[in-house]
């Protein structure tokens, strides 16, 4: 049995098939975590969801910002933008089944490999959040996604404020901060104030900000975190930090990491992808 993580697929199902073939993926043997943004911008979003549903025990998914955007578009909370490619899901004959499955997926996952912890998120983790706190907060959002409150939540989900976590936050503001951290975060201040304007590489941090994983004293500093979301960051391989979005939809690569006997033993596997969108 092998353990893998895969970065942002974004509707590129053919590239996902090529990567799984290169991995020698066996659904009866392997465990693969897909780190969010399963859909959008690429041409085959519905096919990606169907593949994940077919191998739900082996392909374990979590939600990214584009996956939440699909749910919002389906519930009339956000109109699709001109760059969206969500019609293959929204107009599919099995759209209700695909969307029902998607809303069941979590915003964070936890895996123990050879007794070592692995935290999986789409974007980032705020400095004050421990791994267990992160999972508990993700569960708060997941409970709403699975409930009758889904529609009102999606209508209130968008916005950049509050831009900092406070334990006393409640209602829509509390859920919005959790969603923004787990699915949109790149840069923040040392105090955990989030920035959503810059999408540049980690070396181009705006003044007073830094990549979330570089904040001194981060509570999850000793836990390996695997994430995607940041294509301009690209492949990042540190002892406790693993970035896997290598720009598949932009004509880059779709990348996976294969872990060995321990989480420290890692092999990168990538396939080149046709460009589905032009950056900018």
pLDDT digit string, tens, across residues 210-247: 999 999 999 999 999 999 999 999 999 999 999 999 99
**What are the strands of the beta sheet with 266-272, ordered from one edge?**
59-61, 31-34, 3-6, 253-259, 266-272
- Here the tokens at position 42 are 């690429």
DSSP H/E element including 33: strand 31-34
Q: Name the pLDDT band for 126 (thresholds 50, 70, 90).
A: very high
Decide if pLDDT at 280 tops 80.
Answer: no
- Here the tokens at position 211 are 């990549």
Residue 200 is predicted with a pLDDT of: 84
21-29 average pLDDT score: 97
Question: What's the angle, vertex CA 107, arms to CA 245 and CA 198, rounded to 5?
Answer: 45
Q: pLDDT tens for residues 80-92?
A: 888 999 999 999 9
Q: Name the pLDDT band for 124 (thresholds 50, 70, 90).
A: very high
Greatest Cα-to-Cα distance within the chain, rounded to the nearest angstrom: 49
Q: Name the pLDDT band for 204 (thresholds 50, 70, 90).
A: confident
119-138 average pLDDT score: 98
Is 255 in contact with 270 (CB distance < 8 Å)?
Answer: yes
Is 126 in contact with 181 (CB distance < 8 Å)?
Answer: yes
Averaged pLDDT score across all residues of the chain: 96
pTM over 0.95: yes
């Amino acid at each position: 049995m092998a353990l893998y993580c895969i970065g942002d697929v974004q509707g590129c199902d053919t590239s996902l098939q090529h990567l799984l073939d290169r991995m020698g993926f066996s659904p009866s043997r392997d465990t693969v975590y897909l780190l969010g943004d399963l859909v959008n911008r690429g041409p085959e979003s519905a096919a990606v969801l169907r593949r994940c549903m077919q191998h739900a025990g082996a392909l374990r998914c979590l939600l990214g910002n584009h996956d939440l955007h699909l749910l919002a578009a389906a519930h009339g909370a956000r109109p699709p933008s001109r760059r969206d490619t969500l019609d293959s899901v929204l107009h599919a004959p099995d759209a209700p089944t695909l969307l029902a499955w998607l809303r069941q997926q979590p915003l964070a996952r936890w895996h123990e490999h050879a007794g070592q912890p692995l935290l999986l998120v789409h974007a980032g983790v705020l400095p004050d959040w421990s791994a267990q706190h992160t999972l508990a907060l993700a569960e708060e959002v997941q409970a709403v996604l699975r409930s009758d409150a889904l529609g009102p939540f999606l209508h209130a989900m968008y916005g950049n404020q509050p831009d900092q976590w406070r334990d006393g936050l409640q209602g829509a503001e509390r859920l919005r901060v959790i969603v923004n951290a787990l699915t949109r975060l790149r840069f923040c201040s040392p105090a955990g104030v989030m920035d959503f304007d810059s999408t540049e590489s980690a070396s181009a941090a705006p003044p007073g900000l830094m990549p979330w994983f570089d904040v001194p004293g981060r509570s999850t500093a000793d836990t390996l975190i695997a994430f995607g979301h940041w294509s301009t960051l690209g492949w990042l391989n540190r002892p406790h930090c693993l970035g896997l979005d290598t720009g598949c939809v932009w004509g880059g690569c779709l990348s996976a990491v294969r872990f060995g006997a321990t989480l420290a033993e890692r092999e990168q596997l990538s396939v080149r992808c046709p460009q589905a969108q032009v950056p900018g």
